Structure formats: structure tokens, C-alpha cells
Structure 1
Amino acid sequence: MSSLTRMLGLLDLFDTERPFWTSEQIMEATGYTRPTTFRYLKVLRDAGFLARFGGGYTLGGKAAKLDYVIRQSDPLVKLFDPIMSQLRDHIGCEIILVSLLGDEFFATIHKERIGNSAEQSWPRGRPMPLHKGAGGIAVLSAMPKAQLKRMLKSPKIEAASVDVEELLKEIEAAGKQGYAISYGAIDPGNVGIAVPIVLNGVPPAALLIAMEKHRYATADVSILVGLLQKARREMVAVFNAYQIQLEGRSGGADTSTFNSLATASADTQLN
């Protein structure tokens, strides 16, 4: 592991359950020497990723800035938002886009809410275990076998005492039928239906419908899956068009590129 990787890994210590760390706690958690720990902390603090607070450290202003930038300009959100909002309006359920986050989690990167939609316990950016829920199973089903094998050997999977054989059966079933369904895996009263999304050069993702169990009981699953698959085809088409435009721009994409493609995707009808 490189020195840079170890230094950036300190940022992973900070989360909602433990947003404050002292240097001593960091040394204990990582096993790094005092000189190494203080050197890493100084670099991260000088760069704005960490800030001093009450004798310890919290995430700094640079994290807030990056959060704002990604929320305002995430390419996938810009491109897929019109398609997701149309799907939400068409079926009256919450629509969620999730993506792989590192080697052990996936996370919501965009959500189209509706007034009476199912309450989700997992907001944008919060890590979710890969083995829980339709979104995680769909993401896993889209992975190459070598990557999936590595994922299933991760410390988080082992620590959670996951039945890997049963999990593999779920993943294989999702791969064969093209979608995954979970019942109360994330929220006890909800059902999730997800289809995997594979995009060139982008981590595996999934498009998810979240609905209350009582609505699911009267729903036609084949219709819901069909709508998800149609939305996925539109997403892939818009993304591919964006990549073609991007390849023709030596300076990369600008706001007008996103807006023109997003407008085109908004003109697509789901019904």
C-alpha cells in the first residue's frame, strides 16, 4: 500500500457515527507511528480535508466544497435525472440510482422522491452493505466474476457473517432474470426492485424502485421491471451519446453538453 493510499485512508475513519478523532485514536486505529500520523494529518489539514476541533480532528471545508460540487454537477445525475423523474411520475414511487462505492459498499448517488413514497433509511452518499437489498444484489450481478469473487472475500462480508453460498444464489438468480427484489432488507416496510446498469468506464450501478409492501402486493412486477429496463436502455443511450461528444472535445465536457443531452433524455416517453 502506497503512502498516499494510507494517508487518504485516514478520511475513511470519519463517518456519521464517529465524526471526531484525536491523533492518539487515529494512531491506535491505524497502527501508524506518531511521526507518520502527524505528517499525514498536517498534509490533510493544510489541504482543507481535515480541520482541528476541540483537541482533535473533523472533516474540513474541502469535503463540504466537494460535496456541493458533486451534487450540482455529477455527470450521471445530470444525464439521468430527467429519465428518473419521468419514471417516478409514471408509477408514483421513489426512484433511486445506486453505484458501487469502493470494494465493500454501494451508495445512493441520486434519488427522485415523491410525497407519499416509501421512507428510505439510506440517503445519498451513505454506505450500504453490498449483500443487503435489491440494489446491492443488482450491482453484484453486474460484476465480472473475478471482481465478484474478490468482493465476497472482503473483510466487511466476513465480519457480517454472510452466508456466501446463499448470497451467490441470489446474485445468480438476479443475473439470470435480469433484476433483483428484496423484502424489507433496507427498510422493514418496503420492497425494492432493481435492475443492474453497466456503463463503459463507470463502476457497476443499479436503478431501483422503492415502494411500500401494501402497494407491492397489488402491483404487476413484470410491468415494473419492464419500466425499469426501458429506463435503463434510455440511460445507456444518453450516456453513450455523452461519451461520443466527450471524445470529440479535447477540453472535456461543459455544462451545455450535459444540458443538451439531459433535455434530449427528457423528451423520451416512458409510456
Structure 2
Amino acid sequence: MSTGVGSAERILGILDLFTENRLEWTADEMMAELGYTRPTLYRYIKTLKDAGFLSQNGPHGLTLGPRVVELDFLMRKSDALLLEGSAVLKDLAALHPATALLVRWYGNKLLCVASEVSSPEPKSSYPRGRPMPLARGAISRAILAHLPRRQMLSKIRENLDDLRELGMGDTVEEIADNLRQMRKGGTLIARGEVTDGVVGIAAPVFDASRAPVAVLCLTVDRDTLDDAKLKELSGEIWAAATRLSDALTHMRIEDVVLGEL
């Protein structure tokens, strides 16, 4: 079997088929979806099964395998964002009945990597590993508004229809201008865009390059908020995101210095 880039991309294409809405696939369904020949697909499936990334479920079905769990365990022990952010989440959740979220951004996805729930009846709860819409909500804006201009414009074009629907503007430039204005206010706030009746209050987390890599967010039942409480929580979230950014930057600088010794 070839180990070139093409083969790697095709193997990743098989793993990308699995979503919350589609947890099991047969080989025939994979062939119809991906267009791979049967011999090629079977080689890839065998490779993934042998490595533990796929498991057989009954005579025909395939699901994700135990290696995924193993890698998640290792990520929890090594991911600086998680290691530094877990305590921050607990502190935020203690401020007000809410769901506190730590969300990582990569590619075209926003992915919840940790959460803390303090509300007795949460209206919004994203467990670890569940993706979120890139163009909706306070979390999305906390990323988009702080991207470098070229990257921001690219992401706006990719999600233009959704952003127009939300009233963010009609053109790419108009939406970009609105996002730049939003970031001047500190935290990014959205009302009911992802979950009805919920207010999202979000702030970006930066790494040493000063690019947004993640978001801290509180999702709060709007009926428990007044203007004073919203202002208070906004300040707390921004301060927490700043502390987390500083911690990640400090860790990165230490890594660079140690690497040069």
C-alpha cells in the first residue's frame, strides 16, 4: 500500500465520514460516498482496523475504534489549553448559573474541548468533542473578529450566507468592518443565535503568536441576566481569557528557551 500524501488523505477521508448524525457505516456505503474502488477501500479499512481506529460492529457495520479513546486520553494529559483552562472553567461556572465552555478553533470547525455546568436546568450544553457552527453565536464572533485581515476575509467568504442571514452585513467588507467594530467592545455577545433563550458571552484566547486559538464562553439563560450582571460577567470572562492567554504564552516562551539551551 502506498504511504504517499494521497493515501493519507484518503484514509483521513474515511475517518471524516463519522459524525454525531452518522456513527456507523458499511463498506458499500463508504464506497458510494467516497468513490474509492473496493480493493482500495478494503486496504484502507484493514489498516485502520489493525491500528484500532475502526471497529467491526456486527457483520457489516464499522464504527470508530478504541484508539480514538487512547489518543483522547493522551491529549487530556498533554494539551496546554486543557491543562491551564480546566480551573478557569470551574471559576467561571461558579460566577453564575450557566454553562462554561472552552472551545478550540481549527480549520473550519469550533470544537468544545471542555465544559462546566453550574445551572440546575441548563438550556445549552456542549459536551467535549461536539462541534459548533462556525458562523453563529458569540464563540464564532470571538474568533472571526480577532483573525488577521486576510484570514478573516477568507472565513467570511466561506460562511457568507450564514453571516448575511444574521444581519452582519451584505458584503464581505461590510461584515469585516462590523466584526472589527465588535472586537473594540471586549467580549462578544450573541442572543439566541445557537440556542433559543440563551445569551452567549465570549472572549478569545491567544497563543504566543497573538492569533486566536480558542474561546472562553459562558452560555446563560437570558431570564437570569440584567444589564448589570451582563456587564459584570463580561468583565470576568475577558479577564479569565487574558489570564489563560498569558499562561499559554508563558509556557510557549519557556519551551522555546529550553529548546535553545
In which range does the TM-score fall when normalised by the shorter chain? 0.7 to 0.9
The structure-2 alpha-carbon separation of the partners of 1:44 and 1:179, relative to structure 1 and needing over 3 Å to count, comes to same
Residue by residue over 1:109-167, the C-alpha shift from the partner in whole angstroms, topping out at 9 and shown as x without a partner, is 1212214363324222111110111111111112222223332344xx47x75527726
Which of 88, 102, 112 aligns to 1:83? It is 88
Unpaired runs of 5+ residues, structure 1, are 251-271
Cα gap change, 1:162 to 1:235, in 2 (>3 Å): closer
Q: 1:61 aligns to what?
A: 66
Q: Which runs of 5+ in 2 are unaligned?
A: 170-174
> Is the alpha carbon distance of 1:148 and 1:6 closer, same or farther for their aligned partners in structure 2, counting shifts above 3 Å?
farther
Paired residues, number: 247
**1:31-180 to 2 correspondences below 5 Å:** 31-54=35-58, 55-103=60-108, 105-116=109-120, 118-154=122-158, 157=159, 163=164, 166=168, 168=175, 171-180=179-188
Q: CA deviation at 1:185?
A: 1.8
Give the distance between the partners of 1:85 and 1:163, measured in 2 at CA: 35
Out of 188, 205, 213, the residue aligned to residue 214 of structure 2 is 205
Aligned residue in 2 for 1:235: 244
The 8 Å contact of residues 191 and 211 in structure 1, kept in 2 or not, is answered as yes
Higher relative contact order (CA 8 A, sep 6+): 1
CA RMSD of aligned residues (A): 2.6
Match for residue 12 of structure 2? Answer: 8
The two structures have a TM-score, normalised by structure 1, of 0.80
TM-score w.r.t. length of structure 2: 0.83
Instruction: Write out per-residue CA displacement over residues 74-94 of structure 1, whole angstroms, 9 at most, x where no aligned residue.
Output: 321111222332233234533
SS of the aligned residue for 1:200 comes to coil
Larger deviation, residues 165-174 vs 10-19: 165-174
Contact 2:97 2:119 in 1 (8 A): no
